[in-house]
A and B are shown apart, each in its own frame.
Chain A
């Protein structure tokens, strides 16, 4: 395992180094699919330049990074390339590690279930064998490092890579079982962009499962642990926010960063659903639809947590996917994060229904994005509707992908409890439907 992993790392470093030094680097860092007003490198440099001029970076509407980013980049702006090269490896090594952690956990669970005869006889082929799971960490690493989306995001020096690293570190600490670190890192991830707040529920469920505390609202042990974890999380969030206040001595960063994420004033085109919707919105309904779209990101948490309370790792994957699709300024870096976890569910392949359609849609859209952007902005022969259509299709493809994996997961769970080959009352082969 070490040798293929090393080879993979070398290949990935080479690709990125070549792209960094070529003329494509500047082209990529201007692409709206790869950078957004929240995480563009150009804006970080602009913020630092404003700080040098003696003007607060938050006094204008150009800089929307958190103060800790200013801290970080103030010292490393000359070594920015190295920072951005390192972060995907960080993410990737972590994903690797957590895939292997997950694997160990799965094996343990399967062993217990087998020994307790919980599985029906004919679904032994659904169980995951060590042999097939051996290469999953490597596949996860490959899916992340060699994903064109990640490479583009890294070469563009978008701070999305750093956000992904924090989220990956958080998942790693959660799977390792350290509640303190997990709480702190979740607070850091929430501080960077609000949406990882929804990852609190899956992390909590994971810890409860690990500590064998049943998820019962009437039990005091449940509340005891929940409050502890919430306290760690909220406490670290308060500390980090306080530190940010002391950096520039003002609370300006709150409306500039969080107010910006929530109220979506900047309508720069991106791969998300917000920009054109609010460009064409009647002023009267703007607040209403902002609330609707933002609630849309958060409100899947509780139902999903209820349905998937036995499966927190899959829940984490679902939450990250939902955040990446429905957030206000998504970029391909966010898409790459949840796509990296897809090899961990490779055993669901037999139950996926639309995988061919989805992959075709996503590939076609990724190819069409730059073409239609060029036609709109540079050639002038298309208009914004063309780019908007591809945005819609891309998000539709992502939604289809995520719901397909969800369907496959639920179906496998159903088969594990009821048997793989189901028969109707008269003995003929049955079909399974959702009712």
Chain B
């Protein structure tokens, strides 16, 4: 039972990045990574000894032949224009996308079972994911890990924009960590503070990665990420002063004993001489990293060194602002979406994509998944940039089948420099059967976020070298070339009202409609089976009785 496959070594790293935002809010991004060189998909030998890698996820991977799994639960919407680009983007609600191994024969069956199992693991209602909200994007979600499969039959993507994230989802997520919530950075993850924030997103990303540059050996990487943005006014009481205690109501006491590296990075790029804010305790360790197309400087706190915690055995980072920060650098790619029109019959979806680069044009891939009950009319699709028609070079459109699959629209649009591109498409709202409405039908129906994926030209050369000790936040997305970096922007989800029938009326409707049909039937029946006859008035009752008696007596009858 304790036989370990030789070379099956697992290691765990944790890190926290604190980035003060220009609006006064503060962004904290946790990443917990477990690397394990084993092969879940090997037929010959079942993996049975789990150490740092959670067993529930390992069993899920091997049972459903999953090659890559990305699941995220987000509360709130990431405001790109005020906060910049996040390290790990995620749409509001729940999002799940999975690449299956190409040995799988029934991908839909595996997908259905996988969503139900994950629903149990994360205590979320992922069982609402079915074929009516699952799509197979052809270009937008390429594998983030190893694998050269481009057959999108093995990819499934679904979002649940209505999903709410709460403590019930955080607890099982924390349980997957090697140290649980007892030691290391995860002691900071207390739900009463985490959910009292502007943005909260927790995710699990599993993918196969290379161990070294030549990719001689592969390993499975499990990354659990938690991004949270604390608001200046609701959490910070209006004072521009942040500390770990203020944010999380806890301080750090020790590193996780199972971790090989446990670090806290504080972004001090805007504070080179210390004139903007003061960071205490001071640390001599500095690190530079190129992330999201920018070279950022970080103060590093290495929690594996005992002197970090001082005499009180607690580390509470404190950032105190001295002056006002200047303007934020505008993010190069930004997108918005809204519904136009009035009434419950038709509408228009407008997606606006901004390219804020001063002189470079670059293409973006826009993916829209619209539920079947909003019938899109693709002949009304218009893409305009700078008030001129901009024809997309690649359009992949899969129309919806009522009650079977949603619309999928993917387009490659070239964005001119320093411009706004508007994509509009008209839709019609369908009347559903009365059992298909949600319990509160007048709340409306959610349409999942659009995904804009692009390789944005970078101002600074990106690091394409493979180094083992790269900070986690800069190694999430593989960098293929120096001059650009990958960005994924999610737009707002939409809330659309549909016309509703009267839910109290089924019996009445059946009766009334059948009455009208019966009136038709009755009139035709009468006219078809009866003939015209002269109406002989019938005798009154008294005379009829008298006739009866007369007949018995044998006497002539009355007229």
Q: Using a CB–CB distance below 8 Å, which chain A residues touch chain B? A: 30, 42, 45-46, 48-50, 53, 55, 59-62, 265-269, 273, 275-283, 293, 296, 300, 303-304, 306-307, 325-326, 376-378, 380, 383-385, 388, 392, 395-396, 399-400, 403, 406-407, 410-411, 414, 422, 424-425, 430-435
Contacts and interface: CB of A to CB of B under 8 A. Distances in A.
A425 B536 contact: yes
A384 B524 contact: no
B345 interface: yes
Contacts of B399: 50, 55, 59-62
Residue from A61, A307, A407 with most neighbouring chain B CB atoms (10 Å): A61
A74 to B, nearest CB: 14
A163 B379 CA distance: 25
Contacts of B430: 266-268
B528 A303 contact: yes
A184 B513 CA distance: 36
Interface of B: 342-346, 372, 375, 377-379, 395, 397-403, 407, 430-435, 499-502, 505-506, 509-510, 512-513, 516-517, 519-521, 523-524, 526-528, 530-536
A399 B519 contact: yes
A116 B399 CA distance: 67
Given A50-B378, A268-B431, A280-B506, A399 B533 contact: no
Contacts of A434: 526-527, 530-533
Nearest first, the 6 A-B pairs at minimum CB distance are A60-B399, A49-B379, A403-B523, A434-B530, A378-B343, A399-B520
16 contacts: A59-B401, A60-B399, A62-B399, A266-B430, A276-B513, A378-B342, A378-B344, A383-B502, A392-B513, A399-B516, A403-B520, A403-B524, A406-B523, A411-B532, A424-B536, A432-B533
Contact of A279 (B407, B433, B524): B433
B378 A433 contact: no
Contacts of B378: 46, 49-50, 53
A399 B525 CA distance: 13
Nearest to B342: A378
For chain A, what secondary structure do more than half of its interface residues adopt (helix, strand, loop), or is it mixed? helix
B397 A55 contact: yes
A2 B402 CA distance: 51
A377 B343 CA distance: 5
Contact of A60 (B400, B403, B434, B501): B400
B343 to A, nearest CB: 4
Contacts of B509: 276-277, 280, 388
A230 B465 CA distance: 78
Given A277-B510, A385-B505, A62 B375 contact: yes
A280 B533 contact: no
Contacts of A377: 343-345, 499
Nearest to B532: A414
B519 A396 contact: yes
Contacts of B510: 277, 280-281
B536 A395 contact: no
A296 B524 CA distance: 12
Nearest to B522: A403
Contacts of B431: 267-269, 275, 279, 384
Which among A267, A325, A383 has the greatest number of chain B C-beta atoms within 10 A?
A267
A424 B535 CA distance: 8
A266 B521 CA distance: 26
Contact of A59 (B375, B398, B516): B398
Nearest to B434: A280
Contacts of A392: 512-513, 516
Given A265-B402, A276-B513, A283-B435, A399 B536 contact: no
Contacts of A281: 433, 506, 510
Contacts of B346: 30
A61 B402 contact: yes
Interface of B is mostly: mixed
A424 B533 CA distance: 10
Given A48-B379, A377-B499, A399-B516, 20 more contacts: A30-B346, A50-B399, A59-B401, A60-B400, A60-B407, A61-B401, A61-B402, A62-B399, A265-B402, A267-B430, A267-B433, A273-B513, A278-B433, A279-B431, A283-B435, A304-B524, A380-B344, A384-B431, A384-B502, A392-B516
Contacts of B403: 265
Contacts of A279: 431-434, 501
B106 to A, nearest CB: 22
Contacts of A376: 344, 499
Given A61-B372, A61-B402, A431-B535, A276 B528 contact: no
A417 B534 CA distance: 13
Contacts of B397: 50, 53, 55
Contacts of B505: 280, 385
A432 B532 contact: yes
Contacts of A307: 527-528
Nearest to B395: A53
Nearest to B442: A380
Contact of B377 (A62, A273, A306, A435): A62
B40 to A, nearest CB: 36
Contacts of A395: 516
Nearest to B402: A61
A268 B533 CA distance: 46
A49 to B, nearest CB: 4
Contacts of B372: 61
A11 to B, nearest CB: 33
A377 B347 CA distance: 12
A130 B534 CA distance: 31
Contacts of A45: 379
B524 A430 contact: no
A304 B502 contact: no
Nearest to A378: B343
Contacts of B526: 434
Contacts of B500: 383-384
A270 B378 CA distance: 24
B371 to A, nearest CB: 13
A410 B397 CA distance: 57
A385 B503 CA distance: 10
B530 A435 contact: yes
B379 A273 contact: no
A182 B371 CA distance: 45
A46 B377 contact: yes
Contact of A384 (B499, B506, B528, B534): B499
B532 A266 contact: no
A380 B500 CA distance: 11
Contacts of B517: 273, 293, 296, 326
Residue from A283, A304, A414, A433 having most chain B Cβ neighbours under 10 A: A433
A325 B513 CA distance: 13
B403 to A, nearest CB: 7
A403 B502 contact: no
B182 to A, nearest CB: 50
A116 to B, nearest CB: 23
Contacts of B435: 283
Contacts of A306: 528
Contacts of A399: 516, 519-520, 523
Contacts of A326: 517, 520
Contacts of A304: 524, 528
B523 to A, nearest CB: 4
Contacts of B402: 61, 265-266
B346 to A, nearest CB: 7
B398 A396 contact: no
B465 to A, nearest CB: 42
A382 B509 CA distance: 17
A396 B515 CA distance: 10
A406 B527 contact: yes
Contacts of B343: 377-378
B506 A435 contact: no
B519 A30 contact: no
A42 B345 CA distance: 14
A45 B377 CA distance: 9
A293 B499 CA distance: 25
